Amino acid sequence: MTTRTHVFAATAALSVALGLAAPAWAQSRDQIRVVGSSTVFPFTTAVAESFGKSGRFKTPVVESTGTGGGLKLFCAGVGPAHPDIADASRRIKKSEIDQCAANGVTTMTELKIGYDGIALASSRKAAPVSLSTVVLWKALAKEVPVNGALVANPYRLWSDIDPALPRAAIEVLGPPPTSGTRDTFNELAMLEGCKKVAEVARAVPDETARERACMTIREDGAYVEAGENDNLIVQKLSANPNAFGVFGYSYLDQNRDTLQAARMDGVELTAETVAAGKYELARPLYVYVKNAHAGVIPGIREFIGEYTSERAMGDDGYLVDKGLIPEPKALRDVARVEAVNLTPLQF
């Protein structure tokens, strides 16, 4: 028997002893790799840092590639060249499941980690207002329909859109394009509001071009990219009570003494309205695990165990401080069991 045969036999015996059918690349990577949503990125990064501090495994590498880009990488194949986990700010699509299967990624586990809520915040010095995704889109879109065609946004005052709104200049202080909050706002406020304006579909029949137009924000001063310094935005809101700031839910919650959130179609932004699906600018967030990598790339089950722990995802968990709105405990308990057991997704 050759040396190579001895090594193969020993490896096979070890795999059988461990109850694993370990592939040849079993020891080629010893660090978890995560890709995907920029919105989920801060949550997964926080879990990765906490996980790494235990000292049992290396801190996972987390990359912000966007949901679609992350799932494309995730579905490209099995092996060390491909990521183990994908973050997603929406549920995986059937077409992506099919692409995964075509590349050998035949089983995955889905974990809904909780919810995200985006606030349109203003100073408590201002009168409370109720907005909607349609109003937000008309206020902030670069082009809006007039006489059957898209033209440069003519609205200067909120009352230009709806006489019931304040006769005040449209001014929204928000994050830059690199921010996950901006991505969420584009998808849930701009795109969804645009879909409700029938004239847009008639003016731009092509779906791809229409979505691009819907999510293009005006650059004439109505929307101000205020960076990622939330304290600076709060100061500006205090100086200009007519302005709004775009924040994640957690930051609003920590500053309710000075800030208030506009109602969306009459619904107040609370953890309860987000979790119940009543608040328009809210959505579930997901993590997908490549089952074939568990037991091969070290620490995957343990990492998911940390992610689903009460200290992370619980009502008082550290992810709440990052802006995550948790699911009710009964649903968290179910998600924890399914995730740690790597229950395959049934789509």
Of the residues 282, 305, 324, which one is the last residue of a structural domain? Answer: 282
Q: Give per-residue pLDDT as tens, 221-273.
A: 999 998 656 667 777 888 888 999 987 776 787 788 889 999 998 999 988 89
CA distance to 22, 239, 274, per residue, from 29 (Å): 13, 52, 39
Shared-domain flag, residues 145 and 232? yes
Longest CA span, the chain: 88
For residues 328 and 272, give the distance between their C-alpha atoms in angstroms, rounded to a whole number.
Answer: 9
Asked if residue 257 is part of any domain, the answer here is: yes
**Cα-to-chain-centroid distance, residue 77:** 23
User: Are 32 and 103 part of one and the same domain?
Assistant: yes
Phi-psi bin for 171: left (phi > 0), alpha (psi -120 to 50), beta?
beta
Q: Are residues 277 and 309 in the same domain?
A: no
Q: Both 192 and 278 in a single domain?
A: yes
Q: Is residue 312 part of a domain?
A: yes
User: Does one domain contain both 105 and 44?
Assistant: yes
Token pair 């349109």 in the structure block, residue: 120
Residue 246 lies in a domain: yes
Calculated CA dihedral for residues 32, 37, 40, 44, nearest 10 degrees: 10
Mark whether 108 and 67 lie in a shared domain.
Answer: yes
Give yes or no: residues 198 and 142 share one domain. Answer: yes
pLDDT confidence of residue 40: 86
Tell me: do 89 and 201 sit in the same domain: no
Question: Do 229 and 297 belong together in one domain?
Answer: no
Same domain for 135 and 231, yes or no, is yes
Q: Residue holding tokens 């091969």?
A: 296
CA distances from 113 to 77, 240, 286, 288, 315 (A): 24, 36, 6, 10, 12
Looking at residue 206, what is its pLDDT? Answer: 92
What CATH number has the domain bearing residue 260?
Answer: 3.40.190.10
The reported pLDDT for the residue numbered 17 is 36
- pLDDT at position 228: 56
Q: How many CA atoms lie within 13 A of 145 on its CB side?
A: 18
What Rg value do the Cα atoms of the chain yield, rounded? Answer: 23
- Same domain? For 131 and 170 the reply is yes
Asked whether residue 15 is domain-assigned, the answer is no
pLDDT of residue 2: 41
In this structure, the answer to whether residues 124 and 136 fall within a common structural domain is yes
Q: How many CA atoms lie within 13 A of 245 on its CB side?
A: 30
pLDDT for the residue numbered 66: 78
Q: Which residue(s) pair with 264 in the sheet?
A: 131, 267
Classify residue 347: in a domain, yes or no. no
Full residue range of the structural domain in which residue 86 is found: 21-116+284-340
Residue 263 lies in a domain: yes
- The residue ranges of the chain whose pLDDT is under 70 are 1-27, 178-180, 227-231, 250
Would 4 be classed as within a structural domain?
Answer: no
User: Residue 238: its pLDDT value, please?
Assistant: 81
Residues 226/231/233/235 CA torsion (nearest 10 deg): -140
CA distance 146 to 113: 42
Q: Is residue 247 part of a domain?
A: yes
Which residue among 265, 282, 299 closes a domain? 282
CA angle 343/94/36 to nearest 5° reads 70
pLDDT value of position 180: 61
Last residue in a domain, options 233, 249, 282: 282
Judging by DSSP bridges, how do beta strands 263-264 and 130-131 pair with one another?
parallel
Overall number of domains in the chain: 2
